[in-house]
Structure 1
Amino acid sequence: MFKYINKGSDRITTDIVNDQNQDGTHNQVHDEIKHYLGCRYVSAPETCWKIFAFPMHGRAPVVERLYFHLENQQPVYWKDNHEIGTVLAKSTIKESMSTTWMDSNKIYHHGRDLTYAEYVSKFVYDARKRCWKPRKQGNTIGRLIWVPLSSGELFYMRMMLSSAKGSQCYKDIRTVENVVYHTFREACFAKGFLGSDQEFVGALQEANSWGTPHYLRKLFVKFLFMNTMDRPEYVWKQTWQWMADDIVFNHRRQGIQLTDKEKMHLCLTEIENLLQANRKSLRDFPSMSYPLGYVVNPHQNNLIYNELAYDRDILAAEFDKCYQSLTGGVYFLYGYGGTCKTFVWKTLSYAIRSTDNIVLTVASRGIASILLPGSRTTHSKFAIPVPATQNSTCNIHQGSDFAELLHITKLIIWDEAPMCHRYSVEALDKSLQDIMHNGNPFGGKVIVFGGDFRQILPVVPRGNRSDISMQL
């Protein structure tokens, strides 16, 4: 209450003094007056508050976060030394805060008129025993955890939990007026929680008066990315003919008459191409139709497909260009310029990629990353946490598309490696060992580190800033 009202603006005072005597020894005189005047100012109200030992801060009432999940998708936690079979054999593995709430509704009748968020007002959750018990004292406010719209059914389940009372199973949550719906999304529509998306239809209709069909398709893709349409299939059915106008025109010029079904699927193909360019797909939106006969990349992995989508002739030409630039002299891979080093990285990258292999090029800094072909920063590419600690690992899930990409990667080039903290390198080392299922350094992957150690400030034991600067 008093700290941010009375503390004033942040200030700093510097003082240049000569702390050496004429004989070269340091002056160790301690000015007690200056030290006293430099103390923290305490206002009179804050002083009285502290003298009477009143609490400086507090929180009332207590707010408890309520977790939930879809059926059979509860999180499971175990330690590294536990065996998976032993963990799965536990009887409590299917119990969670939300499932035990459903079980508690079967036992306690006086809690069936409460929603999940209201349940904590009369019951207490025992996390150790994984059960709900009647509350004897105190007051607590329950809050459902936030989930984004992109989470799909989990988002709609949260909407239903805000009004569902006395649910004893997941089917009860999906029930509206004695009608059981197949999905939580359908139940939300029946409950009236979702809108008609007429504003998106109006936006596309307005853009149709001055925009091209290609622009309309890009606008529709942006609507999909925003995850704000409750019924994207409804918007699609109302506007697809505007988005397919140029497709019909181009085929008509060739003397080809298309049926409505063919127009629709050709338009969906164009939309799918736009989504694929941004690592998304119409399959990420279950309510949307998928184009018939769409040629999917053979790897079923967009990351691998994009890494291999290089023209071999262009790569071979780039390799020859880099090689010619490097021949005819002796080059040293140190120094501050980095031009020769960049040529070497490009040569390695083009040479390996021209043989249909994958090379991942990263750099510790953004400016250095733009000099390499297809490069990104290490934190962006490998999902290294910020800040990295001794126990940090990369946010790469086993079995994901990026994990499959790392499995078949031939070479990893990491430029400006000395500029990165050692914990970032160790995080990638531990993650690659986990992904490759071995204990070899970096999972057995070949990694080329580049950089100049002279760009790093030296470490002077028990030295100040001036001592470090003098070593440069």
Structure 2
Amino acid sequence: MPYALRRLFATILVHSQPSDVRRLWDSFCHHLSEDFGRSGLVDELEIMSQTLQSISDFLESMGKNASMYDLPKLTMVSKHRDLLKSREVIEEQYVPIPATDLDAHHHLNHAQTLAYDMIMDCIDRNSGGLFFVNGPGGTGKTYLYRAILATVRSRGIIALAIATSGVAASILPGGRTAHSRFKIPIELHENSYCTISKQSGLGNLLRLTRLVVWDEAPMCRRYAIEAVDRTFQDLVGNKEPFGGKVVLLGGDFMQVLPVIPKATIEETIDGSLIRSYLFPRMKVILLHENMRAKNDHVFCEFLLRMGAGVELVDVNGNIKLPTQMVTKVCEGDIEALENKLIEHVYEGLYENYLSSLKRP
């Protein structure tokens, strides 16, 4: 198909370095543009522009630029697309905004409202800000993220939804894992940078971004977060944290710390965000009201005692669940609950897939 041929054409330019690019283009431009010719476009110049823009998108995703090759110049602006925008920028601008998220800021509790107002004030003033939302599970961190993302995106501002884990990323509209979005290298050290070219479409997206929401940040090694910080500074040309962007990180240090193979407790703590040079510069926002079980104070207090490490344990270090919290079920009931959970997860993934199909 022409789409696949254009991707192949870009791959050949980047990895095979043909000696006569223009001759290669002239020989196959008709085959590369067949789908645009069938789409109702009759202007040859418009068809060529669409074809060249598609190839340019592929080149940008590989860290290259069409101007580096002997290709015809884009001499007109397409009627169907703003050719000055990269594919990555357009995808972010078309992330669907759920109506419930747009209305969510009217239903925030007191602590969430203070956090919402503080972050939106930084965005309104277009001044950088570094925040960390700290709260146990169930205190409404994700609800707050979605409210902020919906408000910002509804204004036409680019906001990136990031999470350390894939499950957390799937909960956020337009969510991506940090390693996927920022191209964080696998091998990290204290001076690492992300592999993002200034000329790439992703580099352009990060420069245009005003807000970054990063969920489950405590799960990520501090070297990875610091690499993203240095990359933003380099791309934007600003030495402020994350290049002067508004960055909202969140999570709970009591839940999960970075997984470092064969590391001691001290090494794990040293590799966590709390030991980063960025953490002292963060405005820490505390969420403490459990919104999932706010009518069950005994359960909420039990969760907090567990997280703080003050709940009584037996000789093996195990915590005994209170009797009133234990329900006896048969094996068949457990299997039914597991199937229901799997069904719920797949429904969420399928909804995200359908949303992705609506993007250009």
- 2:76 matched to which residue of 1? 293
Shift in Å at residue 310 of structure 1?
A: 3.2
Are positions 1:268 and 2:68 aligned together? no
Contact 2:101 2:147 in 1 (8 A): yes
Runs of 5+ unmatched residues, structure 2: 113-133, 259-263, 268-313, 320-360
Aligned length: 237
Deviations along 1:40-86, whole A, 9 cap, x unmatched?
xxxxxxxxxxxxxxxxxxxxxxxxxxxxxxxxxxxxxxxxxxxxxxx
Larger CA Rg, structure 1 vs 2 = 1
Contact 2:162 2:214 in 1 (8 A): yes
- 1:444 matched to which residue of 2? 244
Decide whether aligned partners of structure 1 residues 295 and 282 sit closer, same or farther in structure 2, where only a CA change above 3 A counts.
farther
Q: Distance in 2 between matches of 1:244 and 1:460?
A: 58
TM-score by length of 2: 0.51
| Amino acid of the structure 1 residue aligned with 2:70 | S
- 2:143 matched to which residue of 1? 343
Deviates more, 1:348-357 or 1:293-302: 293-302
Select the residue among 26, 29, 41 that pairs with 1:237.
Answer: 26
Are positions 1:226 and 2:11 aligned together? yes
| Amino acid of the structure 1 residue aligned with 2:78 | V
Shift in Å at residue 438 of structure 1?
A: 5.1
Relative contact order, CA 8 A, sep 6+: which one is greater? 2
Contact 1:384 1:428 in 2 (8 A): yes
Contact 1:223 1:229 in 2 (8 A): no
- 1:309 matched to which residue of 2? 93
| Amino acid of the structure 2 residue aligned with 1:322 | D
- 2:345 matched to which residue of 1? none
Decide whether aligned partners of structure 1 residues 337 and 277 sit closer, same or farther in structure 2, where only a CA change above 3 A counts.
farther
Deviates more, 1:380-389 or 1:444-453: 380-389
| Amino acid of the structure 1 residue aligned with 2:101 | C
RMSD: 4.4
Look up the SS of the partner of 1:414 in the other structure: strand
Shift in Å at residue 232 of structure 1?
A: 5.1
Shift in Å at residue 291 of structure 1?
A: 5.2
Percent sequence identity over aligned pairs = 26
- 1:201 matched to which residue of 2? none
| Amino acid of the structure 2 residue aligned with 1:454 | M
Q: Distance in 2 between matches of 1:429 and 1:247?
A: 41
Shift in Å at residue 322 of structure 1?
A: 1.4
Contact 2:7 2:55 in 1 (8 A): no
Q: Distance in 1 between matches of 2:257 and 2:168?
A: 19
Decide whether aligned partners of structure 1 residues 403 and 421 sit closer, same or farther in structure 2, where only a CA change above 3 A counts.
same
Look up the SS of the partner of 2:251 in the other structure: coil
TM-score by length of 1: 0.40
Shift in Å at residue 373 of structure 1?
A: 2.7
Decide whether aligned partners of structure 1 residues 334 and 290 sit closer, same or farther in structure 2, where only a CA change above 3 A counts.
same
Runs of 5+ unmatched residues, structure 1: 1-214
- 1:357 matched to which residue of 2? 157
